Amino acid sequence: MANQPIGVFDSGLGGLTAVKELLNVLPNEDITYFGDTSRVPYGTRSKETIVKYAMQDINFLLKNNVKMVIAACGTVSSVAVDVGKIVNVPFTGVVKPTCLSAVKATKNGKIGVIGTSATIRSKSYHREIQRIDEKIEVIEQDCPLFVPLVESGFIERNDEIVKLTVSRYLKELKDRQVDTLILGCTHYPILKEAIKDFMGTNVTLVDSGRETALFAADLLANNGLLNESKEAGTCKFFVSDRPDGFASVADIFLNDKISHNVEQIDIEKY
């Protein structure tokens, strides 16, 4: 089973930031990624719809014999919190690993959280942070335009649209002097430089993709599931909409040409 791939899913492209980190942390592991590009975004959907979509995504990955499932989606990790309980392989979302890192990082006890509207409404990060340390002040802000910005290719730190959007969403967090900011959606690290420019160098940005990759490595090791092969792992990419659109934008996330590795599937069958 250790030679089977890690399964990763997201509502669209954002989970590729987690894949990129997995490739850095676990270079020998094979990865099977599913991006639900025909139904993105999840962040504006009802809880019932998000749970339904998450279960279909997981079922697809399990049919592909993955040894672990990572919900590289802040919305699923926040809203469909129980889906991992019915999976018969190790499972993690992004909330717990990210909150653990943020609590360790803060010096003044003020942590900011940015995410999709559904993520922020769920209060998942707020609850998890205060479960770890109830004295920490948590300031949350939804940023609904960040995902379409990234998926439309508006990512440069000096782009006026990017700068105005970042300023609009993050002003209160800056005014309230958070010293740690959770990027609670895996799309958001693509805007990291613009966010850093606005928040200042004294604010620690916590990348949910990075923290989840490190957590996944520990989880695999604890379950005796690390791939001990000396060969570099391979990636397979699946989407629910046209592969060409996925591949062109995915270059932004992975800095690699992957068009020949992308396959479209009918997620409704799962």
What residue spans define the domains of the chain? 6-93+210-269, 95-208
- Polymer length in residues for the chain: 270
Q: Given the DSSP bridges, would you call strands 235-239 and 110-115 parallel, antiparallel or unpaired?
A: unpaired
Mean pLDDT over 25-43 rounds to 92
CA-to-CA distance for 266 and 257, rounded, in angstroms? 24
Q: What is the pTM of this model?
A: 0.86
For the domain made up of 95-208, give the CATH fold. Rossmann fold (3.40.50)
> How do residues 159-186 score in pLDDT, each as one tens digit?
999 999 999 999 999 999 999 999 998 8
CATH of 6-93+210-269, one of 3.40.640.10, 3.20.19.10, 3.40.50.150, 3.40.50.1860: 3.40.50.1860
pLDDT at 153 over 90: no
pLDDT category of residue 38 using cuts at 50, 70 and 90: very high
| pLDDT score of 242 | 87
Taking 90 as the threshold, does the pLDDT of residue 201 lie above it? yes
Distance CA 97, CA 102 (A): 9
Q: What is the DSSP letter of 4?
A: S
**Do the bridges between strand 110-115 and strand 31-35 make them parallel or antiparallel, or are there none, so unpaired?**
unpaired
Beta bridge partners of 183: 114, 207
Q: Would the pLDDT of 257 be above 70?
A: no
Proportion of the chain above pLDDT 90, given as a percent: 76
pLDDT at 142 over 80: yes
Residue 259 has pLDDT above 70, yes or no: no
What was the pLDDT predicted at 166?
98
Q: Assess whether pLDDT exceeds 80 at residue 251.
A: no
Residue 239: is its pLDDT beyond 70? Answer: yes
Per-residue DSSP letter, 116: -
Q: Is 270's pLDDT higher than 60?
A: yes
Cα–Cα distance for residue pair 1/21, rounded to 1 Å: 22
What is the set of active-site residues? 73, 185
What pLDDT, on the 0 to 100 scale, is given for residue 228? 87
Q: Which two tokens stand for residue 122?
A: 């769920």
* Residue 260 confidence (pLDDT): 59
Say whether 95-208 and 6-93+210-269 share the same fold. yes
d(CA 119, CA 115) in angstroms, rounded, equals: 6
- Mean of the per-residue pLDDT values for the chain? 92
